[in-house]
Amino acid sequence: MEILSHLALGFETALSLNNLLYCLIGVFLGTAIGVLPGLGPVATIAMLLPATFSLPPIASLIMLSGIYYGAQYGGSTTAILVNLPGESSSVVTAIDGYQMARQGRAGKALATAALGSFFAGTVATFLLAMFAPPLAELALKFGPAEYFSLMVLGLVASVVLAHGSLLRAIGMIIVGLLLGLIGTDVNSGTPRYTFDVPQLADGINFVVVAMGMFGLGEIISNLDNEETRSMLSMKVGSLMPNKDDFKRMVAPVLRGTVLGSALGILPGGGAMLSSFAAYSIEKKVSKNSAQFGKGAIEGVAAPESANNAGAQTSFIPMLTLGIPSNPVMALMIGAMIIQGIQPGPAVMTEQPTLFWGIIASMWIGNFFLVVLNLPMIGLWVRMIMVPYHFLFPGILVFCAIGVFSLNNSEFDVFLMAGFGLAGYICAKLKMEAAPMMLAFIIGPMMEEYLRRSLLLSRSDPLVFLQRPISATMLVMSALALAVVLLPSLRQKREEAFVE
């Protein structure tokens, strides 16, 4: 089979000494960042992007990928031991995981999270290997009109799946699109929206925006709300679940894997949506639903499997279509562009070593994570206890050095500080930065495909409706907006925003 030869190429690439080392570094950093409440994979990848510019493209993307799915593992440790999720997708895990820890079953909860995540990650990576090639082959038939409509669908989905006020989510999308327009017009060579500032002639570097909004913004928010962490006094205890625990884990892990794999592909989906959906469904179908919230092992197994599966399959639209399904994938696309790689279906045919090397590294990374997570629980526990006000000065210095190294420009550092303040204000106003970041990355590509479509159709806007695939995606976008505008759904979003 052709897939076997592709996987053989991938493993040959991923198992080279350099790539193995960077995979290990990535999953270790991801786990460590997941353990530390307040930071997440988006902020971490944003901060580490400048450090990867000098690396070979394959090593760079393998390391960044490891950080992402490693954070899904690490976030469960603090959720279970301290009731403080280290990552947003681990919020649900804290409900039953912390209760298990209080009952003296912390070791079993941690083992359940690790084993469920390993199984889900392995299966989801297999699905990625199976479905990515045919999807990439289909995407090669896309024209400019289809790509434009696909990007519209992605932005609409990010609005629909965002939390809180619909108006605020749309506002953040518009801000992101406007920021993406800053710079020199590719067709005319005329500067636009630069306000005669020479440093803006090439546009705003996405690393500056990401570091400011997610890195500095998160730091300021965490200092404003620094939590008091109360560690459990009892020891973690035995890590091995018993026979009854395994019986109760199997079905939730399978359901979580299937659900997470499906939701991870959706624009705006990924790990967080997968974990919440898996917990809700498990609570309804489980025979032990009365125990949920009181230490049910199913309440740990299902969301942990779902969030890791969702993290893996979110690579499918990024690698095959060049469309980010969440903020982390937006940063990954930015990393590919900086490395001189044009995201999209051509990556699989033009750079098969890169494409299949990343996929193979996910299996290796998942194995590393099991090896790292369980024996090193003691280290992660000690990391949890480090006060945040000791960590943030080093993070600030790292951010400043990283941004300055992009263009050796002080202007970029000040610009990052401005976006950091904006990120903090957005957090206080409960305005999600993720839709803005997606729009900022996608915006310039949307404009390019819009112009190409209109040029090819001689300025006929109906071209987007005359092509079946393009029309289908636009109809889906309209239906998604219509559904979310229903009074009952709008009311639920507003209530969640107020809370």
* pLDDT tens sequence across 48-75: 777 777 888 899 989 988 888 787 777 7
Residue 161 pLDDT > 70: no
Examine residue 479 and state whether it is found in any structural domain, yes or no.
no
123: left (phi over 0), alpha (psi -120 to 50) or beta: alpha
Crossing angle, helix 377-384 and helix 57-81, to 10 degrees? 80
H helices of 343-433, where?
346-350, 352-373, 377-384, 388-407, 410-428
Neighbouring-strand partners of residue 381: none
Range of the domain at 284: 2-452
Q: Which two tokens stand for residue 382?
A: 């000690």
Q: Which two tokens stand for residue 440?
A: 């900022």
Domain count, the chain: 1
Kindly state the average pLDDT of the residues 457-466: 87
Examine residue 211 and state whether it is found in any structural domain, yes or no.
yes
Examine residue 475 and state whether it is found in any structural domain, yes or no.
no
Examine residue 472 and state whether it is found in any structural domain, yes or no.
no
Lowest pLDDT segment from 11-15, 382-386, 470-474: 382-386
Lowest pLDDT segment from 89-98, 156-165, 327-336: 156-165
Examine residue 465 and state whether it is found in any structural domain, yes or no.
no
Long-range contacts, 477-481 (Cβ 8 Å, 24+) = 477/149, 477/152, 477/153, 477/156, 480/153, 480/156, 480/157, 480/160, 481/156, 481/159, 481/160
Residue-level pLDDT at 86:
58
The candidate with the shortest Cα–Cα distance to 105, out of 73, 80, 78, 75, is: 80
Query: Would you place residue 272 in the very low, low, confident or very high pLDDT band (cuts 50, 70, 90)?
Result: low
Examine residue 470 and state whether it is found in any structural domain, yes or no.
no
Average pLDDT, the chain: 79
Examine residue 460 and state whether it is found in any structural domain, yes or no.
no
Query: Would you place residue 24 in the very low, low, confident or very high pLDDT band (cuts 50, 70, 90)?
Result: very high
Residue-level pLDDT at 268:
56
Q: Are 33 and 44 in contact (CB under 8 A)?
A: yes
- 0.85 cut: is pTM over it? no
Examine residue 464 and state whether it is found in any structural domain, yes or no.
no
Query: Would you place residue 226 in the very low, low, confident or very high pLDDT band (cuts 50, 70, 90)?
Result: low
Nearest-angstrom CA–CA distance, 110 and 230: 18
Nearest-angstrom CA–CA distance, 51 and 62: 14
Share in percent of the chain as helix, strand, coil (round to 5): 75, 0, 25
